[in-house]
Amino acid sequence: MYAQMIKSTGKGVKSLDEMDPEERAFQERINAGGKIEPKDWMPDGYRKTLIRQIGQHAHSEIVGQLPEGNWITRAPTLERKAILLAKVQDEAGHGLYLYCAAETLGVSRDQLTRDLLSGKMKYSSIFNYPTLTWADMGAVGWLVDGAAIMNQVPLQRTSYGPYARAMVRICKEESFHQRQGFDIMMKMANGNEAQRKMAQDALNRFWYPSLMMFGPSDKESVHSAQSMAWKIKMNTNDELRQKFVDQTAPQAAYLGLTIPDEHLEWNEERGSYDFSEPDWEEFFDVLQGNGPCSVDRMEARNKAWDDGRWVREGLLAHAEKKRARKMAAE
Amino acid sequence: MSSPESGSYDATEAAPHGKPRATEWPLWEVFIRGQHGLSHRHVGSLHAADAESAIKNARDVYTRRNEGVSIWVVEAAAIAASSPEEKGPLYEPSNDKVYRHPTFFDIPDDVGAM
Ligand SMILES: [Fe+2]
Ligand SMILES: [Fe+2]
Ligand SMILES: [Fe+2]
């Protein structure tokens, strides 16, 4: 997902009886569907895990602008360009909402940025793949935003108030993202032979990386069990991946495109599709920073931060000067 | 910077000479009034060097789809907020004042709408 492999306390989930009164009250509130707000008492592990998770999600929104930003100047029509620009601007907003949510937990925006730029914090593996043709803009909106939606919709009910509220805002915008992507895919899939090939090629390249977005199976993971008890993770990775495949397979059929998986098959008994797992070795390798575009992405973010320094400092100095002048006049 | 929602953290950098200087733009809370005459509502926050740019940034981020016709920004540090520990003493006294609700009173049907 936009947040992958998030570590929690590393210990098993405590039972209510093992908790001291404070923690017990906290957990009971979550169990009853209540929200935790920034100034409420919370276990240290909850705070730290959320900072990691929301921070990684925010970084993904920001780095996620790069593969699509790549095509803004080369969009085939002015209308497509305006749409793509709006979509990429939305993603910047998503990053902002999430950074603000993380900040309510006591970490600064600059700290989060520094941790991204130094490689200490991660972003989603999916954004380390290149966008080679215009059809990739379709595939990204359809598949990548589609996979993100799978995870973001349930997170609107997450236990941490500011995170849940950020998700509500984000989800309102995501359906535009997925639809504009599918619209591009429809145009390409129903276009001439070269366009249809491009659409199929985009699906071929983005299918498995999209499945990887959900992360490896976490049925046995203590981190996931704890995160689910805290309701900062709402479903297992496998559940969400299955849901995504079930939703996407018929859409691919509608487009007349073939999902690159010979084992993809409707399973009557389960009422779901059977499908092949992605290559998890590739996933871990990409997460380690060895994806095809990992170096480019980090260079682009570092350059933006360095090049923007004079703007940040200049505006701050100007604001201070104005304030001093106003004080002197009063 | 500290706000009703955020804890305090260190947004400064040690300068080579003299006192540490701020490196991060302050945090602003954003309130927006929609078209339908309701009050301004808190929609989120953002960083900006001053109020003027905070309003511009809020316009860019929070009113992309006709969400509002008026923006307020307040520097987060300037907001005073009640604390969760006071929840009981502050809000519980109203629980036993059921007569504050219109449903407390039985008005005969014959009286008509009231
Ligand atoms: Fe997004
Ligand atoms: Fe996205
Ligand atoms: Fe999106």
- Choose the closest CB to A96 out of B5, B11, B46: B46
Neighbours of ion ligand 3 (CB under 5 A): A 145, 174, 177
Q: Is the pLDDT of residue B44 over 90?
A: yes
Q: Is the pLDDT of residue B19 over 70?
A: no
Residue of chain B minimizing CA distance to A86: B64
- Cβ neighbors of B59 (< 8 A, separation 6 or more) are B71
- Cβ neighbors of A42 (< 8 A, separation 6 or more) are A26, A36
- Choose the closest CB to A318 out of B49, B61, B84: B49
CA of B36 to the centre of ligand 2 (A): 31
Burial class (CB in 10 A: 0-12, 13-18, 19+), B44: buried
CA of A148 to the centre of ligand 1 (A): 8
| Contact indicator for A240, A246 with CB cutoff of 8 Å | no
Inter-chain touch B44–A322, beta carbons under 8 Å: no
Inter-chain touch A110–B24, beta carbons under 8 Å: yes
pLDDT value of residue B8:
41
Residue of chain A minimizing CA distance to B57: A93
pTM, full prediction: 0.91
Interior angle at CA A138, CA A136 and CA A144, nearest 5: 85
Residue (of B70, B94, B46, B21) closest to A93 by Cα position = B46
- Choose the closest CB to B44 out of A39, A97, A111: A97
Tokens coding B7: 């804890």
Residue B44 sits at the chain A interface (C-beta within 8 Å): yes
Q: Is the pLDDT of residue A221 over 70?
A: yes
Q: How far is CA B101 from CA B87, B93, B95, in A?
A: 21, 14, 11
Alpha carbons A1 and A57: distance in angstroms, whole number: 8
For B8-83, CATH gives 3.10.20.520
Q: Is the pLDDT of residue B9 over 50?
A: no
Query: A84 vs chain B: nearest CA distance in angstroms?
Result: 15
Alpha carbons B39 and B35: distance in angstroms, whole number: 10
Residue A273 phi/psi, 5-degree rounding, is -85, 140
**What is the average pLDDT across A40-67?**
97
Q: Which residues of chain A approach chain B closer than 8 Å at the C-beta?
A: 37-41, 86, 89-90, 93, 96-97, 100, 103-111, 162, 165-166, 169, 312, 315-316, 318-319, 322-323
Q: Is the pLDDT of residue B10 over 60?
A: no
- Give the tens place of pLDDT for each residue, A135-189: 999 999 999 999 999 999 999 999 999 999 999 999 999 999 999 999 999 999 9
Alpha carbons A165 and A101: distance in angstroms, whole number: 9
Sequence ranges of the domains in chain B: 8-83
pLDDT value of residue B11:
46
pLDDT value of residue B1:
35
B contacts of A89 (beta carbons < 8 Å): 64
Residue of chain B minimizing CA distance to A102: B6
CA of A173 to the centre of ligand 3 (A): 7
- Give the tens place of pLDDT for each residue, B66-94: 889 999 999 999 999 888 878 888 888 88
Residue (of A2, A130, A105) closest to A46 by Cα position = A105
Residue (of B41, B28, A290, A254) closest to A298 by Cα position = A290
A contacts of B8 (beta carbons < 8 Å): 106
| Contact indicator for A105, A51 with CB cutoff of 8 Å | yes
Q: Is the pLDDT of residue A12 over 60?
A: yes
Residues 55-84 of B with CB under 8 A from A: 61, 64, 81, 83-84
- Cβ neighbors of B108 (< 8 A, separation 6 or more) are none
Residue A130 phi/psi, 5-degree rounding, is -80, 155
- Give the tens place of pLDDT for each residue, A264-291: 999 999 999 999 999 999 999 999 999 9
Q: Which of B12, B30, B61, B90 to mutate to test the interface with A (most CBs of A within 10 A)?
A: B61
- Give the tens place of pLDDT for each residue, B93-108: 888 888 999 999 999 9
SS (H, E, C) A206-264: HHHHHHHCCCCCCCCCHHHHHHHHCCCCCCCHHHHHHHHHHHHHHHHHHHCCCCCCCCC
Q: Which of A22, A89, A172, A316 to mutate to test the interface with B (most CBs of B within 10 A)?
A: A316
Q: What is the DSSP letter of B47?
A: E
Q: How many CB pairs under 8 A join A and B?
A: 72
pLDDT-based confidence at residue B21 (cuts at 50, 70, 90): low
Residue A297 phi/psi, 5-degree rounding, is -60, -45
